[in-house]
Amino acid sequence: MINMARSIQLSIDGELFSVPCGITVAVALSLTDQAGCRESLTGQWRTPFCGMGICQECRVTIDGLRRPACQTLCRNDMMITRTHS
């Protein structure tokens, strides 16, 4: 459940952000104007597409592990790194 009154802190590409508790990483990226999850080999930013983790367009590195942003809930002090080509 999203708790707008309570927020957590996380890092996106080394920059600290405060986001509502209970949201996915994909939503956090969107709320912080960092909607692109990864950059393709041709330089295009890829964003969440299916919302189910099947397409893998939203994969990011979270605390050192590759994860789908649309299926991963944010945690306090999470470190998210988007892939740049």
How far apart CA 34 and CA 5 sit, in angstroms, is: 22
What is the reported pTM? 0.86
Q: Tens of pLDDT along 12-22?
A: 999 999 999 99
Please tell me the predicted confidence (pLDDT) of residue 70.
94
Q: Tens of pLDDT along 47-56?
A: 888 888 889 8
* Domains located in the chain, CATH noted: 3-81 (3.10.20.30)
Please tell me the predicted confidence (pLDDT) of residue 3.
64
